[in-house]
Amino acid sequence: MGEPVAGVGRFKANYAVERKIEPFYKGGKVQLDQTGQHLFCICGTKVNILDVASGAVLRSLEQEDQEDITAFDLSPDNEVLVTASRALLLAQWAWREGNITRLWKAIHTAPVATMAFDPTSTLLATGGCDGAVRVWDVVRHYGTHHFRGSPGVVHLVAFHPDPARLLLFSSAADATIRAWSLQDQSCLAVMTAHYSAVTSLTFSTDGHTMLSSGRDKICVVWDVQSHQATRTVPVFESVEAAVLLPEEPAPGLGVKSEGLHFLTAGDQGLLRVWEAASGQCVCTQRRLPGPRQELTHCALAHRAGLLLAVTADHNLLLYNACSLRLQKQFAGYSEEVLDVRFLGPKDSHIVVASNSPSLKVFELQTTACQILHGHTDIVLALDVFRKGWLFASCAKDQSICIWRMNKAGKVACVAQGSGHTRSVGTICCSRLKETFLVTGSQDCTVKVWPVPEALLSKGAAPDGGPVLLQAQATQRCHDKDINSVAVAPNDKLLATGSQDRTAKLWALPQCQLLGVFSGHRRGLWCVQFSPTDQVLATASADGTIKLWALQDFSCLKTFEGHDASVLKVAFVSRGTQLLSSGSDGLMKLWTIKNNECVKTLDAHEDKVWGLHCSRLDDRALTGAGDSCVILWKDVTEVEQAEEQAKREEEVVKQQELDNLLHEKRYLRALGLAISLDRPHTVLTVIQAIRRDPEACEKLGATVLRLRRDQKEALLRFCVTWNTNSRHCHDAQDVLGLLLRHEAPEELLAYRGMQASLEALLPYTERHFQRLSRTLQAATFLDFLWHNMKLPTLPAAPSVAPSAL
């Protein structure tokens, strides 16, 4: 058994975030503009604006206080957006530009819970948690009314549609509706009919009738003139929103006669149309498979012909207002992402399993979303078959589903199976052909499920609904939960990883035990076969990844680097590298040959449960507990090409610099050296200028003709040179030039001037002291020289001629 051969494929060095699918709605109010083109929703401290056509977030608006947004409203003319934060500040936005045009204190003593514009878009009513209702003139910028008397939180305010009547309605914790006259500045009536919180108020087009809904399972029709209830309609569900429909026939909604009809949304999870006169339900939306999803909000954009409904798990659904046909779906918040997979032959889509019974399929090019219903409890794991059209899911409801995506990108459930006695936590599809899938469960067993041949035909899903799957083999494999199963590339071997700290190898299809991999100190989260070698990779809660030989079950390598549990591992670069994700939110890229961690990628803020690589091995997909799904792109070749181009450019510039110095074109040379951002090269140019016989004039002329940004860079380099006694003279020459010829005001305006001065002063003082000491020594030497009295040398004795 040999190790994977390095050099089979190109090694990867880095991944970069190509795309991020983040939460854009975490509960609260949602509003469509009148044209149906933009969707406004709250996400913590921001109001996000979505483009309905593409599903992309166009803009995020956040107040300066960065506190949670508690309420917002868009004016009927679509021009003004007002938001309220927990800091008791109201902000008026020009939302298309993303600018705050006005900011003022709400004056409420507690956060604003609701707000609404009047039909003219000039008055804004705010209801607070302090029980007060205030009215503001957003054009003239002042408060006009302050209404007291509501007990508890005022959670609902609405203006009468006729601006001439100047009526405002509000509801608070006492389940009553109060009518306020802006003209008389008084409460006209307290309307009682509900026994629980009133959830919505809506008016007929003529303004004579008002409809209220409540959590007491009734809707009440009111005469606005007399403030009396004219009809109480029991709707048999806790209603979160009711919408009055236009008084015109709509056969698609069961509205066949004129008269008052309204639509309700509530805890049944269905949109229903009611006739007010008879109290009969004339139309009920078809129930989708899976558990009931409570509807928390509903709104009608009549001009656009759209109806917006919001589910309790933060999905936003847009329906045709005349037929209740679903047109668009948006997944606002996925909570904890548990698994992710690429879909389609060209990885054009992704499927996401989050803390929900429904799956979400996104088209990567357009962000279009489909929400799939089939399971009745949280989906725990996913896997995709070889061709990319079929994929499988398993869930806490002890069942598995097979789904098919057609060429139009629409996904349907084509098969279902059950047989496990506990949650099914892991699933793996066959690799060579679409013939079987394997599941592992908390009941410590593994089941092998053959894929019915009917599903492999090119037709659509069977007309009779999903095909029933039957398990071909069942094997008790471990003593604790099975966290991961993997099928070998040849479909003949199965690996299982368990909480009992072991991995096991089995022969398919009968699941005969071949061997056990023991060595991890904690439970195993993931097992994966190498695509090219007889090697198994295991990821464990002990923070390590191990590679095992399939022939003798020995441990070949151990990779240590994660500080917490390693949750997923995948082979990349044709089996020569590993990509791992952990509960510390990190991804790591490893080279198998030298056990080296090449790169650590940090983009998630919570456990990275899902990891999948594309068919072309050029992209990776991760999903984590921070509700984010990230698409990563392999940027190794791009970075290498950029690095090569940078090196070539530097060689060319260095040659050009040498030529300029040779030609004594010092200004161009100095500018080029500064653009290279290499202090030593700049120093070389300065020294070349100073060596010139006409140094002083040329240095001054060259330095002073530089641009301001170049002078700033030169000053920064001087700080570095000044720390070295060999180069301090060059630095001091440049500093002297700048100080003599630049005005102090200009010098102080240089970027980083203060820091540069603080760094220059101590070394300059040290150099000055050294020069002073040298000068003193030289002066003393000179003094000694001049004051030394050398003894007079004796004259040579003269020789008498006679002696000669």
- ∠ Cα 139 117 215 (to 5°): 160
Give the pLDDT score at 5.
Answer: 37
Rounded distance, CA 490 to CA 507, Å?
11
**Amino acid identity at 200:** S
Both tokens of 604, joined, read: 């998630």
CB 36 within 8 A of CB 305: yes
Whole-number average pLDDT of the chain: 88
Domains 197-333 and 517-631 equal at CATH topology level: yes
- Angle (deg, nearest 10), helices 728-741 and 753-787: 110
Domain chopping of the chain, boundaries? 197-333, 517-631, 639-765
Rounded distance, CA 550 to CA 554, Å?
8
Give the pLDDT score at 458.
Answer: 55
458: number of CA atoms within 13 Å, CB side? 1
Q: pLDDT digit string (tens) for 432-486?
A: 989 999 999 999 999 999 999 888 765 544 556 889 999 999 999 999 999 999 9
**Amino acid identity at 150:** S
Give the pLDDT score at 800.
Answer: 53
* Separation of CA 235 from chain center: 40
CB 484 within 8 A of CB 440: yes
Rounded distance, CA 734 to CA 687, Å?
11
Sheet holding 30-32, edge to edge: 30-32, 38-43, 46-51, 57-62
Rounded distance, CA 664 to CA 730, Å?
18
Quote the CATH superfamily of domain 517-631: YVTN repeat-like/Quinoprotein amine dehydrogenase (2.130.10.10)
Rounded distance, CA 551 to CA 533, Å?
11
Helix or strand run (H / E) with residue 786? helix 753-787
pTM over 0.75: yes
Q: pLDDT digit string (tens) for 342-400?
A: 999 999 999 999 989 999 999 988 888 999 999 999 999 999 999 999 999 999 999 99
**Amino acid identity at 717:** F
Both tokens of 385, joined, read: 């078959």
Rounded distance, CA 396 to CA 441, Å?
9
**Amino acid identity at 718:** C
Low-confidence ranges of the chain (pLDDT < 50): 1-9, 460-461, 802-804
Three-state secondary-structure class, residue 257: coil
Give, in words, the CATH class of 197-333.
mainly beta
Sheet holding 81-85, edge to edge: 69-74, 81-85, 89-94, 99-105
